Chain A
Amino acid sequence: MFALEINGLQKVYKNRMHALKGVDLQVRNGDFFALLGPNGAGKSTIIGIVSSLVRKTGGKVKVFNHDMDISLNEAKSCLGVVPQEVNFSQWESCLEIVLNQAGYYGIPRKLAGERAEKYFTQLGLWEKRNDKSRTLSGGMKRRLMIARALMHEPRLLILDEPTAGVDVELRRSMWIFLQQINQTGTTIVLTTHYLEEAENLCKNIAIIDKGKIIEDTTMKALLSKLGTQSYVLDLAQSCTTIPAPNQFNLRQTDPLTLEADITRDQNINELFLYLSTAGINIASMRNKSNRLEELFIRLLNDKNPPGN
Chain B
Amino acid sequence: MGYHRIITAFLTIIIKEVTRFVRIWGQTILPPAVSMTLYFIIFGSLIGPKIGQMGGFAYMEFIAPGIIMMSVINNSYANVVSSFFGAKFQRHIEEMLIAPIPDFVILAGYVFGGVARGLVVGLVVTIVALFFTHLHIHSYAVVISIITLTSMVFSLGGFINAVYARNFDDVSIIPTFVLTPLTYLGGVFYSIDMLPEFWQGVSRFNPILYMVNAFRYGILGVADINIFHAFAIILLFISGLTTFALVLLRRGIGLKS
Q: Hey, which bits of chain A sit against chain B, CB under 8 A?
A: 13-14, 48, 51-55, 72-74, 76-77, 79, 81, 83, 85-91, 96, 99-101, 103-108, 148
Known contacts: A13-B257, A48-B257, A91-B23. The answer to whether A105 contacts B9 by CB under 8 A is yes
Chain B residue numbers with a CB within 8 Å of A87 are 90-92, 94-95
A55 x B12 contact (CB < 8 A): no
The contact sample of 16 A-B pairs, CB cut-off 8 A, is A51-B94, A52-B97, A52-B256, A53-B97, A53-B256, A53-B257, A73-B1, A76-B99, A79-B98, A85-B91, A87-B94, A103-B8, A104-B12, A105-B99, A106-B6, A106-B9
B256 x A89 contact (CB < 8 A): no
In the complex, A100 Cα to B19 Cα: how many Å?
A: 12
CB distance from B15 to the nearest CB of A (A): 8
In the complex, A101 Cα to B100 Cα: how many Å?
A: 11
Interface string of B79-105 (1 = CB under 8 A from A): 000000001001110111111111000
**B16 interface residue (CB < 8 Å to A):** yes
* 7 residue pairs, one from A and one from B, having the closest CB atoms: A106-B5, A103-B12, A73-B100, A104-B99, A87-B91, A76-B100, A106-B8
Nearest opposing residue in chain B for A106, CB measure: B5
B5 x A105 contact (CB < 8 A): yes
Chain B residue numbers with a CB within 8 Å of A52 are 97-98, 256
Chain B residue numbers with a CB within 8 Å of A14 are 257
* Besides A51-B94, A76-B100, A106-B9, 20 new A-B residue pairs in contact (Cβ under 8 A), listed by A number: A52-B98, A52-B256, A53-B98, A53-B256, A54-B257, A73-B100, A73-B102, A76-B98, A76-B99, A79-B98, A86-B91, A87-B91, A88-B92, A99-B12, A100-B15, A100-B95, A103-B11, A104-B9, A106-B6, A107-B8
- If over half of B's interface residues share one DSSP class (helix, strand or loop), that class is named, otherwise mixed; here it is helix
B100 x A55 contact (CB < 8 A): no
- If over half of A's interface residues share one DSSP class (helix, strand or loop), that class is named, otherwise mixed; here it is loop
Chain B residue numbers with a CB within 8 Å of A99 are 12
Listed residue (A79, A81, A89, A99) with the most chain B CB atoms within 10 angstroms of its CB: A89
Nearest opposing residue in chain B for A71, CB measure: B100
Chain B residue numbers with a CB within 8 Å of A96 are 16, 19
Chain B residue numbers with a CB within 8 Å of A89 are 87, 90, 92
CB distance from B209 to the nearest CB of A (A): 37
Nearest opposing residue in chain B for A107, CB measure: B8
**B2 interface residue (CB < 8 Å to A):** yes
Chain A residue numbers with a CB within 8 Å of B5 are 105-106
Q: Hey, which bits of chain B sit against chain A, CB under 8 A?
A: 1-2, 4-6, 8-9, 11-13, 15-16, 19-20, 23, 87, 90-92, 94-102, 252, 256-257
A83 x B9 contact (CB < 8 A): no
CB distance from B109 to the nearest CB of A (A): 10
A55 x B252 contact (CB < 8 A): yes
- Of the candidates B20, B23, B87, B101, the one whose C-beta lies within 8 Å of that of A104 is B101
In the complex, A14 Cα to B256 Cα: how many Å?
A: 12
Chain A residue numbers with a CB within 8 Å of B99 are 76, 101, 104-105
B256 x A104 contact (CB < 8 A): no
Nearest opposing residue in chain A for B10, CB measure: A103
Chain B residue numbers with a CB within 8 Å of A74 are 100
B95 x A51 contact (CB < 8 A): no
Known contacts: A73-B100, A101-B99. The answer to whether A106 contacts B92 by CB under 8 A is no
CB distance from A105 to the nearest CB of B (A): 5
